[in-house]
């Protein structure tokens, strides 16, 4: 089916060339980091994880979000998702590829990455995370490919594939749960040490993932003559709204626990994120604008998605609404959550994190690789759809 | 054949690329094994020279894990002589020159072990 | 029963089984850590050192090395702290990196409020405001860093010392996030340019870029029957006493019996092996 990706109009090739350019820049930046070490990032002894791990965490959510299409379609037989379920599965593949790459560029000794498999350590959540991420990636490639092939031949998919489809559902939940467990089991990091991290991650994932799929579907409608169907889009928007509200509800619970209990450790990180943390006469607040942008974008997105005229009347407003939700939750999880956990450090000092330019270019390169793969996968999926219709 | 010209050109380029080592080294005579400077203060090692040549890397890995991970620092005794399990404190006592011993073969066989990224080579 | 419901029940059944499997797995997973703690407590009450089944290590812990730091001695002799830090950093080729974000340290002097942030105090006594005390890796009896390491690059040896295997570390820095005492440093770049050839300890390796490092309780010295470098730097002052906490007759255990001591943030259940007389 790969031949579908080799035929496209000028815009298709220009888009791929543009992504290719960013990938090359990212790769050169990575070589610089590889030969110097992680010193050319903004990470420090105190904030020892930065942009890379934050992107990883967010993208695990995007990958898990695809299950919001798979589950209604295969378990509840929600027929309208038939055309776009494949978009969810292929998005998961691209997102997981980015996850693996973000982990890889974050390693101090990347050539030793296979030590995780050579010396498996069940007590480490990172080991389990690797297992579920690779497992979920395998399941999505398998299910996506087999079902698309069957669709192309216009026959029913083989029965055995449904076993893997059903397994992929708890797997989707598990990838984000285990990713949350990387954080929420660490003593002494109060902001992360919360049993609600996994559900909060899932809620934000089930909003951000489908939001990206809706945006993609709207773009594909314009550029690839692919209509996901009004009913499917509308149902997805409903899912996004509920999941987004759940995420904000969980976040507000974190605020309650911190501020009502008045336990300093539970308040520090929230204070740093939203209001600026005062410490020895200095206020540390470099993430405050991002967090209020998150709140604002969430409100704008919600308004556009809930108000019938913007939700149903106009694709542009619907797209802006979904993009707002996606960016809002990216700010929340892809920036705020990971960085704030490191403040203050265990010896009650504060170091703020500012990414290095080289680090930003590498991150952009990884995102570009993800979108490059996603474009090709979507091109194949839509090529097959068009072929059946023809 | 469809697009015959393109396919054949592609194949030629592929074959040329794959055979780079052959024609790149054409003309240069086969290099002989490097001459090593052997220690003067000792005649024997923990294993015969043949075995050391073939297996010193595995041996060092085993020593490393025994010393670092299991804390087993017992010395290797060969013919009444005790050798501590240490690259820096044992091997380099006799093979005092990294340049004239280690590097010679490693350069020849184009391997770059990372031992010396951390372990301090004798001053030369 | 219609087909849909039957399918649902099948899935529900399978998921339940999977769930049960996960629970028992988790039980096994934390079991190792718990047994270590239980065994330690038992050893403490029974007053004898037990061979303790340990998680992630290649050998069981027989001893539990620990340290008792008498902060008063560091107040009496203000140059002592600097001497202790210098001795350690020279012994282990710890680079002196001027950029604070890339800093590497094994033992360092800090204020009371930084060493014991869980004891915030508005009206701290003048001595604790002014003077500094040394902090280092606590070599916890239940170390979170060992638990999270995905390659067993950090583990406990037979003496209960939390060791780094620099050959195996992949530099994921999970242990740095997990350590509640900020004891771990990362080599953000090659450390050699920041070392002085003249003072380098030729018997101890340096590190390569991209690995995590920290205090090793001078394993290379205690193996030879020597005291750790920091203890030696204190001379006869007994500012730092080093010994086996599992041995009831050891000097450190006798001192612990006689003095009121504190550990850094003990409420986290890490069971630090470094004690302080404040």
Cα-Cα end-to-end distance for chain A: 16
| B41-B47-B52-B57 Cα dihedral, nearest 10 degrees | -110
Dihedrals φ, ψ of A232, to 5°? Answer: -60, -50
Read off the pLDDT of each residue in B90-104 and give the average, rounded to a whole number.
Answer: 87
Q: Going by CATH, does the domain composed of A2-385 fall within 1.20.1630.10?
A: yes
Bridge-based pairing of strands C274-277 and C65-70 is parallel
pLDDT of residue C5: 57
Read off the pLDDT of each residue in C191-195 and give the average, rounded to a whole number.
Answer: 94
Of B64, B63, B49, whose CA–CA distance to B105 is shortest?
Answer: B49
Rounded to an integer, what distance in angstroms lies between the CA atom of residue A191 and that of residue A186? 10
Read off the pLDDT of each residue in C55-62 and give the average, rounded to a whole number.
Answer: 62
**Number of neighbouring beta carbons within 10 Å of residue C267:** 10
pLDDT grade for C277, boundaries at 50, 70 and 90: very high
Q: Which residue has the tokens 């990938």?
A: A23
pLDDT of residue C9: 57
Per-residue pLDDT tens for B14-64? Answer: 999 999 888 887 766 666 778 888 888 778 889 988 899 899 999 999 999
Mean pLDDT lowest among B57-66, B96-105, C131-140: B96-105
pLDDT at A167 over 80: yes
Say if CB C69 and CB C243 are below 8 A apart: no
The subunits that touch chain C, with at least 3 C-beta pairs less than 8 Å apart, are: A, B
List all residues 6 or more positions away from C252 whose beta carbon is below 8 Å from its beta carbon: C66, C67, C68, C241, C242, C243, C244, C245
pLDDT of residue B60: 93
Write b or e for each residue in A347-357: b if 16 or more Cβ atoms lie within 10 A of its Cβ, otherwise e: bbbbbbbebbe
pLDDT of residue C51: 35
pLDDT at C39 over 70: no
What are the DSSP calls for C174-202, one per residue? HHHHH-TT---EE-SS-SGGGS-TTT--T
Read off the pLDDT of each residue in A100-110 and give the average, rounded to a whole number.
Answer: 96
pLDDT of residue A215: 95
- Which is more confident, C147 or C15? C147
Element (H, E) at A72: helix A67-74
| DSSP code, position C61 | B
Token pair for C64: 């539990």
Rounded to an integer, what distance in angstroms lies between the CA atom of residue A330 and that of residue A58? 7
Per-residue pLDDT tens for A129-149? Answer: 999 999 999 999 999 999 999
Q: Is B118 near chain C, with CB under 8 Å?
A: yes
Residue of A124, A128, A133 to mutate for C, most C C-beta atoms under 10 A: A124
Cα–Cα–Cα angle for C214, B60, C200, rounded to 5 degrees: 45
Read off the pLDDT of each residue in C121-143 and give the average, rounded to a whole number.
Answer: 88
Read off the pLDDT of each residue in C4-28 and give the average, rounded to a whole number.
Answer: 55
Rounded to an integer, what distance in angstroms lies between the CA atom of residue A298 and that of residue A307? 14
Per-residue pLDDT tens for C213-236? Answer: 999 999 999 999 999 999 999 999
Collapsed DSSP state (helix, strand, coil) of residue C135: strand
| B99-B101-B102-B106 Cα dihedral, nearest 10 degrees | 90
pLDDT at A163 over 60: yes
Per-residue pLDDT tens for C151-180? Answer: 999 999 999 999 999 999 999 999 999 999
pLDDT of residue C32: 42
pLDDT of residue C41: 44
Q: Is C182 in contact with A116 (Cβ distance < 8 A)?
A: no
**Over the Cα atoms of chain B, what is R_g?**
22
In C115-273, DSSP assigns E strands to: 132-136, 154-156, 162-164, 185-186, 212-213, 240-244
Element (H, E) at C232: helix C229-233
Interface of C with A in 2-61 (CB under 8 A): 4, 8, 11, 14-15, 18, 25, 28-29, 32-33, 55-56
List all residues 6 or more positions away from C1 whose beta carbon is below 8 Å from its beta carbon: none
pLDDT grade for A248, boundaries at 50, 70 and 90: very high
Q: Is C163 near chain A, with CB under 8 Å?
A: no
pLDDT of residue C157: 92
pLDDT at A157 over 60: yes
Of A319, A107, A89, whose CA–CA distance to A215 is shortest?
Answer: A319
Q: Is C196 near chain B, with CB under 8 Å?
A: no
Collapsed DSSP state (helix, strand, coil) of residue A146: helix
Domain C49-277, CATH: 3.30.70.20
Which neighbouring-strand residues pair with C70?
C277
pLDDT of residue C35: 42
Q: Which residue of C has its CA nearest to A128?
A: C150
Read off the pLDDT of each residue in A208-219 and give the average, rounded to a whole number.
Answer: 95
| A314-A317-A318-A324 Cα dihedral, nearest 10 degrees | 180
Where do the structural domains in chain A lie, given as residue ranges? 2-385
Burial class (CB in 10 A: 0-12, 13-18, 19+), C25: exposed
Interface of B with C in 38-97 (CB under 8 A): 64-65, 68-71, 73, 88-89
The rounded percent of chain C whose pLDDT value lies above 90 is 69
pLDDT at C85 over 60: yes
Say if CB C142 and CB C33 are below 8 A apart: yes
pLDDT of residue C49: 34
pLDDT at C54 over 70: no
Phi-psi region of C152 (alpha: psi -120 to 50; beta: other; left: phi over 0): left
pLDDT at C52 over 70: no
What integer best gives the mean pLDDT of chain A?
A: 94
Rounded to an integer, what distance in angstroms lies between the CA atom of residue B123 and that of residue C200? 12
Q: Is A108 in contact with C172 (Cβ distance < 8 A)?
A: yes
Rounded to an integer, what distance in angstroms lies between the CA atom of residue C254 and that of residue C270? 23
pLDDT of residue C10: 59
List all residues 6 or more positions away from C47 whose beta carbon is below 8 Å from its beta carbon: C248
pLDDT of residue C3: 53
* Entry pTM: 0.89
Which neighbouring-strand residues pair with C66?
C243
pLDDT of residue B123: 81
Of C29, C151, C176, the CB nearest to A122: C29
Read off the pLDDT of each residue in C181-199 and give the average, rounded to a whole number.
Answer: 94
Which neighbouring-strand residues pair with C277?
C70
Collapsed DSSP state (helix, strand, coil) of residue A190: coil
Q: Is the peptide bond before A344 cis (omega within 30 degrees of 0)?
A: yes
What integer best gives the mean pLDDT of chain B?
A: 87
Say if CB A345 and CB A351 are below 8 A apart: yes
Rounded to an integer, what distance in angstroms lies between the CA atom of residue A147 and that of residue A162? 10
Say if CB A200 and CB A337 are below 8 A apart: no
Residues of C in contact with B118 (CB under 8 A): 166, 205-208
Dihedrals φ, ψ of C197, to 5°? Answer: -55, -35
Say if CB A97 and CB A370 are below 8 A apart: yes
Where do the structural domains in chain C lie, given as residue ranges? 49-277
């Amino acid at each position: 089916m790969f031949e579908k990706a080799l035929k496209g109009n000028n815009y298709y090739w220009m888009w791929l060339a543009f992504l290719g350019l960013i990938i090359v820049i990212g790769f050169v930046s990575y070589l610089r980091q590889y030969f110097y070490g992680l010193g050319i990032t903004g990470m420090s002894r105190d904030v020892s994880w930065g942009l890379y791990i934050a992107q990883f965490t967010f993208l695990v959510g995007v990958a898990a979000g695809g299950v919001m299409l798979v589950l209604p379609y295969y378990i509840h037989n929600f027929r309208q998702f038939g055309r776009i379920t494949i978009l969810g599965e292929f998005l998961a593949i691209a997102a997981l590829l980015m996850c693996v790459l973000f982990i890889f560029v974050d390693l101090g000794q990347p050539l030793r990455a296979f030590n995780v498999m050579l010396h498996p350590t069940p007590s480490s959540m990172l080991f389990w995370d690797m297992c579920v991420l690779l497992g979920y990636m395998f399941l999505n490639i398998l299910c996506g490919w087999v079902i698309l092939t069957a669709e192309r031949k216009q026959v029913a998919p083989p029965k055995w594939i449904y076993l893997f489809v059903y397994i992929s559902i708890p797997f989707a939940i598990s990838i984000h749960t285990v990713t949350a467990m990387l954080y929420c089991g660490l003593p002494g990091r109060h902001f992360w040490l919360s049993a609600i991290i996994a559900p909060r991650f899932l809620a934000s994932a089930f909003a951000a993932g489908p939001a990206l799929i809706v945006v993609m579907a709207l773009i594909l409608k314009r550029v690839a003559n692919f209509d996901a169907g009004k009913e499917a889009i509308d149902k997805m928007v409903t899912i996004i709204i509920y999941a987004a509200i759940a995420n904000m509800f969980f976040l507000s619970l974190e605020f309650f626990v911190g501020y009502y209990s008045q336990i300093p450790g539970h308040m520090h990180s929230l204070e740093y994120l939203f209001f600026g943390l005062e410490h020895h006469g200095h206020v540390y607040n470099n993430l405050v604008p991002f967090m209020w942008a998150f709140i604002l974008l969430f409100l704008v997105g919600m308004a556009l998605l809930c108000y019938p005229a913007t939700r149903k009347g106009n694709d542009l407003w619907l797209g802006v609404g979904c993009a707002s939700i996606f960016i809002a939750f990216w700010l929340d999880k892809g920036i705020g959550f990971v960085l704030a956990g490191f403040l203050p450090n265990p010896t009650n000092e504060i170091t703020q994190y500012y990414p290095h330019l080289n680090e930003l270019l590498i991150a952009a390169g990884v995102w570009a690789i993800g979108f490059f793969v996603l474009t090709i996968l979507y091109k194949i999926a839509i090529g097959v759809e068009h072929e059946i219709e023809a | 054949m469809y697009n015959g010209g393109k396919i054949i050109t592609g194949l030629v380029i592929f074959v040329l690329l794959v055979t780079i080592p052959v024609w790149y080294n054409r003309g240069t005579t086969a290099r002989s094994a490097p001459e090593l400077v052997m220690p003067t203060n000792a005649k024997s090692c923990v294993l015969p020279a043949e075995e050391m040549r073939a297996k010193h890397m595995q041996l060092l890995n085993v020593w490393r894990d025994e010393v670092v991970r299991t804390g087993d620092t017992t010395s290797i005794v060969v013919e009444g002589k005790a050798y501590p399990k240490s690259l820096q404190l044992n091997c380099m006592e006799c093979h005092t020159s990294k340049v004239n011993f280690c590097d010679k073969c490693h350069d020849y066989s184009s391997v770059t072990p990372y031992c010396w990224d951390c372990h301090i080579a004798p001053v030369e | 029963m219609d087909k849909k419901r039957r399918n649902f029940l099948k899935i529900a059944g399978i998921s339940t089984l999977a769930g049960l499997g996960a629970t028992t797995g988790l039980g096994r997973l934390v079991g190792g850590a718990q047994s270590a703690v239980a065994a330690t407590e038992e050893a403490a009450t029974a007053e004898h050192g037990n061979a303790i089944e340990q998680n992630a290590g290649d050998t069981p812990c027989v001893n539990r090395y620990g340290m008792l730091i008498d902060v008063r001695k560091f107040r009496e002799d203000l140059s002592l702290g600097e001497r202790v830090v210098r001795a350690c950093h020279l012994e282990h080729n710890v680079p002196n990196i001027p950029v604070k974000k890339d800093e590497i340290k094994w033992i360092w002097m800090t204020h009371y409020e930084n060493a014991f942030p869980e004891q915030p105090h508005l009206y701290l006594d003048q001595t604790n405001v002014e003077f500094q005390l040394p902090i280092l890796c606590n070599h916890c009896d239940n170390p979170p860093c060992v638990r999270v390491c995905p390659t067993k690059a950090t583990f406990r040896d037979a003496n209960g010392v939390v060791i780094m295997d620099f050959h195996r570390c992949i530099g994921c820095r999970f242990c740095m996030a997990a350590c509640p005492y900020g004891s771990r440093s990362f080599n953000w770049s090659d450390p050699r340019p920041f070392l002085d050839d003249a003072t380098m300890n030729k018997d101890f390796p340096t590190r390569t870029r991209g690995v995590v490092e920290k205090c090793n309780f001078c394993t290379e010295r205690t193996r030879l029957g020597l005291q750790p470098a920091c203890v030696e730097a204190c001379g006869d002052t007994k500012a730092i006493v080093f010994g086996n906490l599992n041995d009831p007759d050891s000097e450190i255990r006798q001192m612990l019996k006689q003095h009121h001591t504190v550990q850094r943030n003990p409420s986290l259940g890490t069971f630090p092996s470094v004690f302080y007389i404040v």
